[in-house]
Amino acid sequence: VGAGPRRVFGNTEMHPYFALNLPTGETQKTPTGNGRVDVKIGAVSTSLFNDRNIELTLLAEHNFTGQNNRGINPPNETTTGFLVGSRISPKLRVATGLTDLVRGNGFLLTSRTGARYTISPRLHFETYGDFGMNNINIPKNNGASFFVRYNL
């Protein structure tokens, strides 16, 4: 659960935010979360170029990890990254880039590729594929995600 203001400066949108990850859906037989409350602060900025056809997105987030239900408090995490993208049609954009997760004495470098379909200025659907490229002390993994975003 998170929120933050959205500000536009020329061709750049800024989204600073604050979020809480809550340990929802936990059962004794089926663990579906990490069993802890995490506090996140971060910012995302997107700059548009070439008549709004090319975009550069930068992100930074710090996760203050909480203690889980087994009494373990893992190291805090910092994620940074960038995506470079292009408009394919008036409602569809694609992008690719890199993200880096740093936790304790480890890191995970990931390639991220995604697409955003815009229904209206407020409603967006986004999907991403993540592919682990390089790591130290954090397992490589691949994943996919889907988001529905509504801007107030």
Query: How much is the pLDDT for 71?
Result: 83
What is the number of residues in the chain? 152
The mean pLDDT value for 42-66 works out to 94
**Per-residue burial over 73-111, b = 16 or more CB atoms within 10 Å of its CB, e = otherwise:** eeeebebebebebebeeeeebebebebebbbeeeebbbe
- pLDDT tens digit string along 99-133? 999 999 999 999 999 999 999 989 999 999 999 99
Confidence of residue 70 (pLDDT cuts 50, 70, 90): confident
Query: How much is the pLDDT for 12?
Result: 95
> Residue 132 pairs with which residues in a beta bridge?
110
Q: Which residues have CB under 8 Å from 1's CB, separation 6+?
A: 19, 20, 22
